């Protein structure tokens, strides 16, 4: 298991992902950052800033928790699926998010 540390809305989030899929999540987040300014709508979804990736994580703050990778990717998918974008081909971003989401769902079913 790998952990991704991101900041979102002035707080830290800790996301757990199977090691084989962490690269895909980081690449997806980088692509979303690259493409977000191309959206023509004014209410763009907030994107996390990637801080670090690690293989071990010990949370000492009892108020902090680790988010499941599939739940986090599903949350990203919901943010982008709700957008009313008419000009920019949003479908390509949604396709990437949904592809990772499907892989994680399949992995979860196999376990």
Task: Identify the pLDDT of residue 89.
Answer: 74
pTM of the predicted protein model: 0.89
Q: Name every residue whose Cβ is closer than 8 Å to that of residue 37 and which is 6 or more positions away in sequence.
A: none
Residue 37 CB-density burial (10 A; 0-12 exposed, 13-18 middle, 19+ buried): exposed
pLDDT tens digits for range 16-54: 999 999 999 999 999 999 988 888 888 888 899 999 999
Task: Identify the pLDDT of residue 92.
Answer: 84
Residue 2 main-chain phi, psi, to 5 deg: -120, 160
């Amino acid at each position: 298991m790998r952990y991704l540390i991101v900041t979102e809305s002035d707080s830290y989030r800790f996301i757990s992902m199977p090691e084989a899929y962490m690269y895909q999540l980081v690449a997806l987040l980088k692509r979303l950052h690259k493409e977000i300014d191309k959206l023509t709508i004014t209410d763009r979804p907030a994107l996390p800033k990637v801080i670090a990736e690690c293989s071990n994580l010990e949370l000492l703050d009892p108020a902090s928790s680790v988010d499941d990778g599939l739940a986090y990717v599903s949350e990203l998918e919901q943010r982008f699926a709700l957008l009313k974008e008419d000009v920019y081909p949003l479908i390509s971003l949604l396709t990437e998010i949904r592809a990772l989401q499907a892989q994680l769902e399949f992995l979860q079913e196999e376990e």
